[in-house]
Amino acid sequence: MKADEKRKKAGPRRYSVLVVDDSHDDRFILRRSIGVDGRLEIIGELENGEDAVAYLGGKGKFADRGSFPLPDLLLLDLKMPRKNGHEVLEWLRSREMSEPVVVVLTNSIMPEDLQRSLALGAAAYHVKTAERGQHHAFIQALEQLLDERIGRMRSALAG
């Protein structure tokens, strides 16, 4: 059986998520939202940009990729200690990493934060909400983005 046929029989692809946000409450809301919808799985939570860079770079305590695998999706807050989200995006860009897909999830509604995030390579920019009704739609949008992005990357590698 071909790999594509196996994938179709196995159902929709699941995605691993690394959450980088200094707010315990916001991480709790994400865990609750992601836990309900099933295709996304949080593989790690970090509280600052410095740890995000160490994790993604496989440095220090994050060197073991078996315990700290690269995620498919990075949910990144902008306003954090010890490296903000823009600094993490700049680091990713300097490494020319095509993975993970980065989605900025922030409280900032400032147009310059949106523009800078997208210019630095974020795939999307979402403003946080406490409204539960919007969480399901957000998770579905993340899954669709990942299906499209990762599908394109795989097609490019195969072709």
Q: Which domains does the chain have, with CATH numbers?
A: 13-144 (3.40.50.2300)
Q: Nearest-CA neighbor of 105 among 133, 134, 82?
A: 134
Q: Average pLDDT for consecutive 10-residue bins of the chain (159 residues)? A: 47 89 94 82 96 96 96 96 95 85 95 97 92 85 90 64
Query: Quick one: pLDDT at residue 131?
Result: 80
CA angle 74, 142, 122 (to 5 degrees): 45
Query: Quick one: pLDDT at residue 11?
Result: 59
- Quote the CA–CA distance of 82 and 114 in Å, as a whole number: 21
CB atoms within 10 A of CB 80: 23
Query: Quick one: pLDDT at residue 3?
Result: 46
User: What angle in degrees, to the nearest 10, is found between the helix axes of 132-158 and 24-37?
Assistant: 70
Query: Quick one: pLDDT at residue 9?
Result: 47
Query: Quick one: pLDDT at residue 22?
Result: 96
Query: Quick one: pLDDT at residue 35?
Result: 77
